[in-house]
Structure 1
């Protein structure tokens, strides 16, 4: 079971966010790379989860043509 991903951690710069281990920035035990993976909050700001397509909402069915309608 994976850990719950924190939306706004207090000190995201201290942790590598590349996997579920959340290693310290100087440890990098998983071998995910030579540098730590940044938290989305560091790249996109405090409201990072509000923008973008995260696939959380169900798809909008009103845009699909109905079966009895002909497509151009």
Structure 2
């Protein structure tokens, strides 16, 4: 069973969020690159988990197939 992903951790900068190990930022054990993976709250703000509500909706255009 996977660990529950925290939606708003108190100090996200201290942990690498790249895998389920949640290693300290200065001691990466999984070898997931040279730098830590940031938590979504660091990238998108505290309301990152409701991000899909703000996505742009595609414009539904009717394209005419007539000759030009």
TM-score interval, smaller chain: 0.7 to 0.9
Q: Normalising by structure 2, what TM-score?
A: 0.75
Give the CA deviation at 1:7: 0.1
Is the counterpart of residue 27 in structure 1 residue 39 in structure 2? no
| Unaligned stretches of 5+ residues in structure 2 | 54-68
Partner of 1:8: 8
CA RMSD of aligned residues (A): 1.1
Give the CA deviation at 1:2: 0.9
Runs (4+) off by over 2 Å:
none
Partner of 2:57: none
Q: Normalising by structure 1, what TM-score?
A: 0.71
